Amino acid sequence: MLTKRIIPCLDIKDGRTVKGINFVDLRDAGDPVELAEIYAKSGADELVFLDITATEQKRKTLAEMVRSVAEKVNIPFTVGGGISSIEDVDILLKNGADKVSVNSSAVKRPELINELSAKFGSQCITVAIDAKQVNGEWLVHLVGGKVPTDINLFQWAKEVEERGAGEILFTSMNNDGTKAGFANEALAVLSSELKIPIIASGGAGKIQHFTDVFLKGKADAALAASVFHFKEIEIKDLKEELRRNGVEVRL
């Protein structure tokens, strides 16, 4: 059985780690390089580093910061934010990222997924999907959740897989920052319909939520931010509890 992964997420704005609720009301959570180093030493399986305003402000993720983080960690590390070309990915991978995450640019031009997976291998390509349940239907949102579309989450996820993505990072905008638990019903559907790994994001508030996302949501990995940034949950304690609940994790 593949072990389940615990992934702290570092949302970056103006060079600082930030965290909000439902994608707004951001507050400072510390220096991303320092946090990355702490997480790598405390048992995190991977890290995700997202420049959350890169797409919105039409600028590229800072390769210098990626290099600084990569120098401090010895675990796999995904970088996203404003990535829209082979050149963008090449720069990030050369500066130490193990994987890249694309979101808005892939929705606007789905062929990008094919191009990136063909060039760098699907194992390097994560497609992030931000979706919100509206009148009972899960709809994809772009530009950090600010721009709604009429694209169905499950149809888009299937297309993403077919185009060569190595994994999907699904964030429920309804659950994000609420600490009320992950969107397990939607996650279970994604996990049953797709063959590639699903990373769950949005809603972690207590250890039980992580147990639920693996056992009920069938997720392959769980991503969280504030509960780790503000030391509400220690990764070591979380993994020990998951193991007690029958979830296979790397201790």
For the record, the structure tokens of 161 come out as 């897989």
**How far is Cα 136 from Cα 74, in angstroms, rounded to an integer?**
42
Q: Write down the number of H helices and E strands in the chain.
A: 10, 12
Cut 0.85: pTM above it: yes
Quick check: 43 and 236 in contact, CB under 8 A?
yes
Convert the pLDDT of each residue in 134-185 to its tens digit. Answer: 999 999 999 878 899 999 999 999 999 999 999 999 999 999 889 999 999 9
Would you please indicate which residues are annotated as catalytic (active-site) residues? 11, 130
Q: Is the pLDDT of residue 22 over 70?
A: no
Closest alpha carbon to 11 in 63, 47, 59: 47
- pLDDT tens column, 194-247: 999 999 999 999 999 999 999 999 999 999 988 998 899 999 999 999 999 999
The Cβ of residue 204 has, within 10 Å, a number of other Cβ atoms equal to: 30
- What is the structure's pLDDT at 221? 98
pLDDT for the residue numbered 126? 98
Looking at the DSSP assignment, which residues form a beta bridge with residue 128? 169
pLDDT (0 to 100) of residue 58: 46
Position 54 confidence tier, pLDDT thresholds 50, 70, 90 = low
- Residue predicted with more confidence, 2 or 27: 2
Q: How confident is the model at residue 55 (pLDDT cuts 50, 70, 90)?
A: low
How far apart are the C-alpha atoms of 162 and 191, rounded to whole Å? 15
Average pLDDT over residues 19-47: 82
pLDDT, residue 144, reads 77
**Around 54, how many Cα atoms within 13 Å sit in the side-chain half-sphere?**
23
Burial class of 234 by CB neighbour count within 10 A (0 to 12, 13 to 18, 19+) = middle
* pLDDT of amino acid 24: 60
pLDDT of residue 52: 72
CA atoms lying within 13 Å on the CB side of residue 107: 25
Domains of the chain, CATH where assigned? 5-244 (3.20.20.70)
